[in-house]
Homo-oligomer: A and B are copies of this chain.
Amino acid sequence: MYTSHLLPSASSATFPAFGLSSEALTLESLFASLPVDKFAAGEGVFWEGDAASDIFQIAEGCLRLYRILPDGRRAIIGFRFAGEMLGLSCEGTYCYTAEAVTPIRLRRLSRARLRAMSEGDGQLQSLLLAKVFEEIRAAQQHIVVLGQLGAEERAAHFLVSAARRTGADRKRPVVIELPMTRQDIADYLGLTIETVCRVMSKLKRDGLVTLEGRHRVILVRVADLQQLAGELDSAEPWERQASPWCPPQWPH
Within 8 Å of chain B (Cβ to Cβ): is A249?
yes
Which of B49, B144, B232, B244 has a CB less than 8 Å from the CB of A77? Answer: B144
Q: How far is the CA of A148 from the CA of B215 in the complex (A)?
A: 24
For residue A217, give the distance in angstroms from its CB to the closest CB of chain B: 15
For residue A119, give the distance in angstroms from its CB to the closest CB of chain B: 7
Q: How far is the CA of A232 from the CA of B96 in the complex (A)?
A: 12
| A215-234 Cβ-contact flags toward B at 8 Å (1 or 0) | 10000000000000011100
Within 8 Å of chain B (Cβ to Cβ): is A210?
no
Are the CB atoms of A72 and B136 closer together than 8 Å? no
| A223-252 Cβ-contact flags toward B at 8 Å (1 or 0) | 000000011100111101001110111111
Are the CB atoms of A247 and B42 closer together than 8 Å? yes
Stoichiometry, as copies per complex, reads 2
Are the CB atoms of B71 and A245 closer together than 8 Å? no
Within 8 Å of chain B (Cβ to Cβ): is A102?
yes
Using a Cβ–Cβ cut-off of 8 Å, how many residues does chain A contribute to the interface with B? 72
Are the CB atoms of B148 and A102 closer together than 8 Å? no
**Closest B residue to A184 using CB positions:** B248
For residue A105, give the distance in angstroms from its CB to the closest CB of chain B: 14
Known A91-B130, A238-B48, A249-B41: A143·B144 in contact at CB below 8 Å = no
**Closest B residue to A122 using CB positions:** B119
Find chain B residues with CB under 8 A from A68 CB.
238, 243, 245
15 interchain pairs, CB-CB under 8 A: A2-B250, A41-B250, A47-B237, A47-B240, A48-B238, A70-B230, A74-B245, A91-B129, A99-B247, A101-B250, A103-B250, A147-B190, A181-B252, A183-B248, A214-B252
Instruction: Please name 5 further chain A to chain B contacts, defined as beta carbons within 8 Å, in addition to the given A42-B248, A181-B248, sorted by A numbering.
Output: A42-B247, A75-B148, A125-B125, A142-B143, A214-B252
